[in-house]
Amino acid sequence: MTPWLGLVVLLGSWSLGDWGAEACTCSPSHPQDAFCNSDIVIRAKVVGKKLVKEGPFGTLVYTIKQMKMYRGFTKMPHVQYIHTEASESLCGLKLEVNKYQYLLTGRVYDGKMYTGLCNFVERWDQLTLSQRKGLNYRYHLGCNCKIKSCYYLPCYVTSKNECLWTDMLSNFGYPGYQSKHYACIRQKGGYCSWYRGWAPPDKSIINATDP
């Protein structure tokens, strides 16, 4: 069993009797959480792909040209290949070859990088300026904070290290304004709060429920 097939099983969205059905189900994740929970975060261009015989439907192996690494220097300092399920119903990822640069996140298993639909993967030109700044330094500053999802009102933070993520209330899911423009960063006094701005984080305190 490949890692991402295992992920789908854990999500409870796949069954042996229904391989052909749409089965990939992912919980919404703020880009900062995706960054902090990934082994590898890179910007890269896909330059080739091939299908190998691994798993029930095979595995797509993309050859990439790594432009920049944001996370994973000790895990795998240079990534040349990424692996994903060939079937989208098993959360396999489809990427264009020789067309776009991508922001890619994933995990390392047996010396290989795996990614899929449940990872944060986006065309580089579709990222906001705030998201690019987050990748460079802001998200890293907030990895000790917790982003708490709010699906229905009322929602509350229950500890000083939480930021309330409310994109799902107004955007019927992700991505929303907080995903695109804010990072959850620890401020003076030990409290985590949403941050957006040009000044250093401790000079711009934003209430945990804002925006």
Q: Which residues are annotated as a binding site for Zn(2+)?
A: 24
Q: State the number of CA atoms in the 13 A half-sphere of 210 facing the CB.
A: 7
DSSP, res 177: H
Alpha helices in the chain (DSSP H): 3-11, 31-36, 129-133, 139-141, 167-171, 177-181
Amino acid of residue 41 = V
Q: Enumerate residues 6+ apart whose C-beta is below 8 A from 90.
A: 4, 5, 8, 14, 23, 24, 55, 56, 57
Are 192 and 208 a contacting pair, CB within 8 Å? yes
Annotated binding site: 24
